[in-house]
Amino acid sequence: MSDDFMLDTDDLHRRMDGAMANLKTEFASLRTGRASGSMLEPVMVDAYGSMTPINQVGTVNVPEPRMVTINVWDKGLVQKVEKAIRESGLGINPQLNGTIIMLPIPELNEERRRELTKVAAQYTESARVSVRNVRRDGMDQIKKAKNDGLSEDDQKFWEAEVQELTDAAIKAVDAALEVKQKEIMQV
């Protein structure tokens, strides 16, 4: 192996893991018929002149399997939080009780479950694209090193390393999709 070229596989691995972490965050926002505080993570509220996550304007709780509550700290923001939830596309109808917003989670019908599995597949494809972009960056580094004198054997070794990382990351992404689709379709 060439002493002067060392591909930073840890960096590539970290970036591929980042794509997987992002996928899990997106999956958490998909409703599966069970209440979860994480389903509100992508919802932003116009609070104090900037877009703020809901968990920074109130306390999010899950008191029962089909109910999420938000105890909004500032009375003036209750209407804005309610509006943000209505406009978020989550398909939840908030109910006000003073400064507490209750979100009853309805049962998912078959059609909505199928739509959610399609959304999960779109999220997964975005994660795959991110992983492939990291792979391309790694391969570009190897090509540049080849032009700078990296031997063909070393080039093949590093390309195999990058491909192995990519295959493992894609496999993990696909496994996560399979688990999420089963979770969504579970009645």
The confidence score (pLDDT) of residue 187 equals 64
Residues 179, 113 within the same domain: yes
CA angle (37, 124, 44) in 5-degree steps: 35
Mean pLDDT across 104-130? 87
CATH code of 127's domain: 1.10.132.20
Residue 40 inside a domain? The answer is yes
Residue 133 inside a domain? The answer is yes
The predicted model scores a pTM of 0.68
d(C-alpha 91, C-alpha 142), whole Å: 47
The confidence score (pLDDT) of residue 166 equals 96
CA angle (177, 178, 183) in 5-degree steps: 95
Mean pLDDT across 99-128? 86
Question: Is the CA virtual torsion 156, 161, 164, 169 positive or negative?
Answer: negative
Q: What is the pLDDT of residues 92-110, one digit of tens each?
A: 889 998 889 998 887 778 8
| 3-class SS of residue 36 | coil
Residue 167 inside a domain? The answer is yes
* Final residue in a domain of this structure, among 104, 126, 141: 104
Residues 84, 113 within the same domain: no
CATH code of 65's domain: 3.30.1360.40
- pLDDT over 90 percentage in the chain: 44
Residue 134 inside a domain? The answer is yes
Q: What is the pLDDT of residues 65-75, one digit of tens each?
A: 888 999 999 89
Show the domain range for 53: 34-104
The confidence score (pLDDT) of residue 33 equals 64
> What is the number of structural domains in the chain?
2
* Final residue in a domain of this structure, among 55, 84, 104: 104
The confidence score (pLDDT) of residue 2 equals 42
Torsion, Cα of 37, 39, 43, 45 (10° steps):
-20
d(C-alpha 169, C-alpha 175), whole Å: 10
The average confidence (pLDDT) of the chain is 87
